[in-house]
Structure 1
Amino acid sequence: MNFNQIGQVAVALLTGFGLKILGAIALWIVAQQLIDFALKLIRRGFRSQHVDPTLVNYLLNIIAVTLRIVLVVAILGFFGIETTSFAALLAAAGIAIGAAWGGLLANFAAGAFLIVFSPFKVGDFITAAGVTGTVTEIGLFTTNITTPDNVLTIVANNKIFSDNIQNFSANPYRRVDLLAQLHHDVNHNDAIARLKAKISEIPNVINNPAPDVEIITFNLAGPVLAVRPYCNNEHYWQVYFDTNKAIREAFGEAGYPIPEQRYAFSSQSANGTPNDGNSAISSASMMS
């Protein structure tokens, strides 16, 4: 046995294999840089055509995954592995994975439908699958929503598509719904006039449609006003809080009494004898 020849063959094989490893690493690095560069060019081209950012991100994700699969197949071919067999194996594995991971495929299909039907886009403020917030990304399988308290929430696309979706950004304006309690003795017309004047001074409240201030119901404390200014979606919380302040300030400036519950009784007692003339007394007086 000639150990020198064996050693030379081993060194040659290891050298060749090592060179292939280095070549594969170099190919991976260069190809990744080219893929990233190509994706940047595609993104720039989409932006120049004013394509919807949601659709752009979705297409770029698909292109990136496809190019990386092609890259892996090319590297395997570089090592002399039969790529046709690998492609068949990849297809078989895809079928097996698809059967085992049906939920992922459902999320993928739901993501495609979300892109096609476009019930919302990136930047919209929505409620979907029980989550309320701003859409930051629509991915292949999930959608990222940032809630008002700045928490990133990742929701499966299929869960969103199979549930109700509220898009607060779809219309040019939305309504702020608040209530204002009045005392029994307050003139409701005066209160309505004061509130309308006060609300008109709030920044970002739109004039068309004009704010609504009307009696919506009654309770034991008195009439209840529905206070409903309108504003753009991005100003909702500012208008909401400022309207609460306006209700407080308007009623305080008018000197309205604090609402309190009252109970009215008939002029006859339970046995049919007349009362002493007091037709309305408080529950506290009855208890005493």
Structure 2
Amino acid sequence: MDFQEITKVAIALLTTFGLKVVGAILLLFIGLRLIEFSIRLLRRTFRSQQIEPTLINYLLNIISVTLRIVLIVAILGFFGVETTSFAALLAAAGIAIGAAWGGLLANFAAGAFLIIFRPFQVGDFITAGGVTGTVTEIGLFTTALNTPDNVMTIIANNKIFADNIQNFSANPYRRVDLLAQLAHEVDHNQAIALLKARLMQIPNVLDNPLPDVEVLTFNLAGPVLAVRPYCHNQNYWQVYFDTNKAILETFGEAGFSVPEQRYTVNASANGAHPFIPAPS
């Protein structure tokens, strides 16, 4: 075979390979544009159905990654690469990555379950993973909360999903639990009546259900009242602090004595100290 024939064969091979490269680039470009168009179309469709925004992001991310993998496999098949072998290699790589990133994938799965079961939403005030705060974001792997002292706290989704979740925003109202100490000589019925009347004057205290004021327990200082007004979640701390002030002011205006712990020590009949044995 002379040099001219070798040149012709090389040019033919390079031309064929070049056309395949150009075709692959065009296929990649067109495929990516179609994927982006499909994702935008799906996003509009999901939003028109009023689906949770975080769930939309989850679904679109999964669909986008899946379509890109299919596109890459198609391009490899265009070059004559055995796609079944590639699929097996991809599955093996997935298993290896899954073993290495087990915690990360667990957080991803937990995040998906949080979106599906929706124990809370963005804006809810919750306790989850040992943290109490307002939900600002439910991400793929973590959830962000703003604590009452305005500290952004990031919690792994798996920790949230594996623990108890308290959602204070789920119900239309919640109860404020406070205590009021009475002295022994104070008439508890009078104290209860005064507190109930005063609680109804506090802004944002609900009249349905009515506030609860009852004798809860006793100690050395006297009876202890349970003071429990109800309010909407967004008014909790305002009602909490106003109720404390109402207790203080109500008892002061009524002239109730300050509670004191009292002990009674009785001497024995022969005058000996009760804790020292009398001489025989």
Which aligned pairs between 1:164-203 and structure 2 lie closer than 5 A? 164-203=164-203
Q: Which amino acid aligns with 2:98?
A: G
Task: Tell me what 1:280 maps to.
Answer: none
Task: Tell me what 2:205 maps to.
Answer: 205
Alpha-carbon distance between aligned partners in 1 of 2:40 and 2:99, rounded to the nearest angstrom: 34
Alpha-carbon distance between aligned partners in 1 of 2:148 and 2:41, rounded to the nearest angstrom: 34
Cα shift at 1:167: 1.4
Alpha-carbon distance between aligned partners in 2 of 1:83 and 1:251, rounded to the nearest angstrom: 86
Are 2:35 and 2:67, in contact at CA under 8 Å, matched by a contact in 1? no
Q: Count residues in correspondence.
A: 253
Alpha-carbon distance between aligned partners in 1 of 2:80 and 2:249, rounded to the nearest angstrom: 79
Are 2:133 and 2:145, in contact at CA under 8 Å, matched by a contact in 1? yes
CA gap of 1:253–1:42, structure 2 versus 1, over 3 A, is farther
Are 1:58 and 1:138, in contact at CA under 8 Å, matched by a contact in 2? no
**Alignment of 1:144 onto 2:141:** no
Alpha-carbon distance between aligned partners in 2 of 1:137 and 1:64, rounded to the nearest angstrom: 21
CA gap of 1:252–1:47, structure 2 versus 1, over 3 A, is farther
The secondary structure found in structure 2 opposite 1:143 is strand
- The TM-score with structure 1 as length reference comes to 0.73
Cα shift at 1:82: 5.0
**Percent identity over paired residues:** 70
Are 1:183 and 1:221, in contact at CA under 8 Å, matched by a contact in 2? yes
Are 2:181 and 2:225, in contact at CA under 8 Å, matched by a contact in 1? yes
Task: Tell me what 2:238 maps to.
Answer: 238
Q: Which amino acid aligns with 1:130?
A: G
1:117-169 CA-partner distances (Å, limit 9, x unpaired)? 32222222211111111222222222222222222222122211211111112
1:8-57 CA-partner distances (Å, limit 9, x unpaired)? x9xxxxxx9xx98xx89x959x958983x765654443333222344334
Are 1:57 and 1:138, in contact at CA under 8 Å, matched by a contact in 2? no
Q: Which ranges of structure 1 fall in alignment gaps of 5 or more residues?
A: 1-8, 10-15, 276-288
Task: Tell me what 1:13 maps to.
Answer: none
CA gap of 1:200–1:67, structure 2 versus 1, over 3 A, is farther
Q: Which amino acid aligns with 1:131?
A: V
Alpha-carbon distance between aligned partners in 2 of 1:124 and 1:251, rounded to the nearest angstrom: 36
**Alignment of 1:107 onto 2:107:** yes
Are 1:195 and 1:250, in contact at CA under 8 Å, matched by a contact in 2? yes
Cα shift at 1:186: 1.7
The secondary structure found in structure 2 opposite 1:224 is strand
Q: Which amino acid aligns with 1:224?
A: V
Alpha-carbon distance between aligned partners in 1 of 2:217 and 2:136, rounded to the nearest angstrom: 40
Are 1:53 and 1:122, in contact at CA under 8 Å, matched by a contact in 2? no
Are 2:175 and 2:228, in contact at CA under 8 Å, matched by a contact in 1? yes
Are 2:35 and 2:64, in contact at CA under 8 Å, matched by a contact in 1? no
CA gap of 1:111–1:236, structure 2 versus 1, over 3 A, is same
Alpha-carbon distance between aligned partners in 2 of 1:157 and 1:251, rounded to the nearest angstrom: 47
Task: Tell me what 2:159 maps to.
Answer: 159
Are 1:61 and 1:140, in contact at CA under 8 Å, matched by a contact in 2? no
CA gap of 1:186–1:83, structure 2 versus 1, over 3 A, is farther
CA gap of 1:109–1:249, structure 2 versus 1, over 3 A, is same
Task: Tell me what 1:133 maps to.
Answer: 133
- The TM-score with structure 2 as length reference comes to 0.75
Task: Tell me what 1:48 maps to.
Answer: 48
**Alignment of 1:272 onto 2:269:** yes
The secondary structure found in structure 1 opposite 2:192 is helix
CA RMSD of aligned residues (A): 3.5
